[in-house]
Structure 1
């Protein structure tokens, strides 16, 4: 009788691990699609409820601030819950809330349904990156994170443009119904393929002091909120900017959003290929790329071709930024990863909400053409802070890790 070889056993094990990572990537796809779909449907929603785009844009701000406020409390409540069970519960809330969005007959009902999605989002992004790292084959953690980001980028490439197209031709409510149905299918597949994974978090009493005493971790949080605030000053209103400032048609605006997503995939490929060698430079090049893109958004507003070039650089930069700092959070807090990621998600969404709010103020007071300039100012502060304070802390941590590895060997 022929016995299965050890190589075949390892291969089958790796295949199952990668399948689970890919399922998580599909989950990130649908979560990111529903998070950012209001950006692509802003004009349609505003018209339906007889509001301005700026008025409807408050939906983005409230959603982001809800995630920011809820991420840590919800993760503390569920910190010791088995991850597969928790993910199933999160998806159930997500599906039901998007179904309510479909049924919304007032802006307030839509806002309430979005708060339900925000609760699911708050927990999902706290557990998804650590889950991908845990279930990935040994030594492939960066690749697993990159696959998650491919899911996020596909939300921009496929989810956002397709959702926008559905909204334009069938109505924005059908977009939310489509998201609910797709999420339900993904939930069924995930519950079948994802292994049970007990929580690795310490108790909340031990986690919180440890995290807030970590100087490098806290500096990354501050850099993140500054960068993301600047990014979303511009990105939250990119659809009306392209339509009314650059004067692109609806179809070409959709194409621009498509290109932004495609370049996000390019960013994730660059990260998976070079991050292990250049992790710190990648982290700060990405901030610089976002900064330059926001400045050029204003300077190239006279040129369609120039604007498309800016969007391409911007898409690569924000993709690498997200991956670099998620990876850094996991390395800086190995024993409290879910809690640290919950705080990161909260901080990130403070940036989204603040950026959307400030971008709305700028567009209504100074005009849509200036949304990039205020975003540039925030990211420029983040870039200088990162180079002068955050980078030395991270380099010091890497040297310490290398010293511990040599000592262990």
Structure 2
């Protein structure tokens, strides 16, 4: 479990550190905020493409071996990011680095759930996800500080080192998971025929977009809009990370207690936190606190969506769990694009938060019929027996 969480730690570090270093990358390549935001979108699109593709064609590979292969690919992708000499090479490297992301979380989450006692699947999935949350407290600020000191390339070098350590840990500590059945591509693709899978993915894709509309441009927001010193940005990122750690724990328990209501509560909380940030983002420390609350609210949603996809996907759980990360990274790409467009049109650095709140409300509108349809289907099924 610790080895699995270490992989999540590395992935969380590389996913979020780019956002804190965008101003340095933009300065190096002489590009604006909108173009810099495409670096985030490139990684996210790698996840969106890689998660279903890799998962669908690797169902026959033993889970331990697949996790080790994915971590090797992750390490190579971040090594290439370190070597990106121009904007377009860096875009390609970030896309490659994102490819194993979703498949890793999918297989690691399913492995954790299969190892967990009955009734504690949500907490087991949250434990693996805790690696990502802890990354935002420790890994991201450390990589951010290293990037500020030695150049943004050093941050990706640190991630590659974390990936190497995780590769060794998985090799030595990961059990062979012989009880996890192999699946064929046709079985995994069966998830795509289930409406509840698509509806759950839609909730994640729309609802999580607001988080990244804010996070992608947080350095500019806090330094240009709130007037915070650039060397204190690690405090802002750590606040978000602490919120994610706490939210991940609460989200796992919410998923075990009441899955559907937990999803709705998370979406409402995200909307409220983002509206508040549109006001508090002009104040350095109040905005930092609010940013931490955004991290808390957003991370409560992830375990619930993961468990819900496992429940509605039938035998195609590996692909369904991977698609959850495709959905969240589609939200990453779209959120970065929406936030960049709002800023580019002159609405200011507080406006992406309001756009994000609108996305959370829209996701709540998707949740209502999704919940009602599933409840109706369960009632019909009980009536047959």
In which range does the TM-score fall when normalised by the shorter chain?
Answer: over 0.9
Deviation (angstroms), 1:233: 1.7
Cα distance in 2 for partners of 1:151, 1:394 equals 31
The answer on 1:357 being equivalent to 2:342 is no
1:175-214 aligned at under 5 Å gives the runs 175-197=155-177, 200=181, 202-208=183-189, 210-214=190-194
The answer on 1:304 being equivalent to 2:287 is no
* Equivalent position to 2:362, from 381, 386, 390: 381
Deviation (angstroms), 1:197: 2.6
Deviation (angstroms), 1:321: 0.5
Cross-structure match for 1:118: 98
Cross-structure match for 1:29: 9
Cα distance in 2 for partners of 1:67, 1:271 equals 23
* Equivalent position to 1:79, from 59, 64, 80: 59
The answer on 1:263 being equivalent to 2:233 is no
Cα distance in 2 for partners of 1:271, 1:37 equals 23
Deviation (angstroms), 1:54: 2.5
Q: Are the aligned partners of 2:45 and 2:95 in contact in 1 as well (CA < 8 Å)?
A: no
Deviation (angstroms), 1:310: 2.1
Deviation (angstroms), 1:345: 2.2
Q: Are the aligned partners of 1:41 and 1:164 in contact in 2 as well (CA < 8 Å)?
A: yes
Distance 1:368 1:274, change over 3 A: closer
Deviation (angstroms), 1:138: 4.3
Cα distance in 2 for partners of 1:373, 1:253 equals 22
Q: 1:186-236 deviations in whole A, cap 9, x for unaligned?
A: 11011111111355354222432x423423222111111111223222221
**Other structure's SS at 1:389 match:** helix
Cα distance in 2 for partners of 1:27, 1:247 equals 35
Q: 1:164-200 deviations in whole A, cap 9, x for unaligned?
A: 0000111111111111112101110111111113553
* Equivalent position to 1:368, from 349, 357, 360: 349
Q: Are the aligned partners of 1:200 and 1:336 in contact in 2 as well (CA < 8 Å)?
A: no
**Other structure's SS at 1:292 match:** helix
The answer on 1:287 being equivalent to 2:267 is yes
Q: Are the aligned partners of 1:233 and 1:359 in contact in 2 as well (CA < 8 Å)?
A: yes
Cross-structure match for 1:130: 110
Distance 1:212 1:273, change over 3 A: closer
Deviation (angstroms), 1:305: 4.2
Aligned length: 382
TM-score w.r.t. structure 1 length?
Answer: 0.87
With 319-328 and 251-260 compared, the bigger mean Cα shift is at: 251-260
* Equivalent position to 2:321, from 326, 341, 354: 341
Cα distance in 2 for partners of 1:106, 1:160 equals 23
Q: 1:137-182 deviations in whole A, cap 9, x for unaligned?
A: 4443222112122211111101111110000111111111111112
Cα distance in 1 for partners of 2:329, 2:215 equals 14
Q: Are the aligned partners of 2:197 and 2:309 in contact in 1 as well (CA < 8 Å)?
A: yes
Q: Please tell me the root mean square deviation across aligned C-alpha atoms, in Å.
A: 2.1
**Other structure's SS at 2:59 match:** coil
Q: Gaps spanning 5+ residues in structure 2: where?
A: none
**Other structure's SS at 1:81 match:** coil
Distance 1:298 1:212, change over 3 A: same
Deviation (angstroms), 1:308: 3.0
Cα distance in 1 for partners of 2:326, 2:125 equals 19
Cα distance in 1 for partners of 2:143, 2:378 equals 42
**Other structure's SS at 1:197 match:** coil
* Equivalent position to 2:202, from 205, 222, 229: 222
Q: Are the aligned partners of 2:81 and 2:93 in contact in 1 as well (CA < 8 Å)?
A: yes
Distance 1:37 1:305, change over 3 A: closer
Cα distance in 2 for partners of 1:263, 1:393 equals 33
Distance 1:349 1:155, change over 3 A: same
Distance 1:342 1:145, change over 3 A: closer
Distance 1:276 1:70, change over 3 A: closer
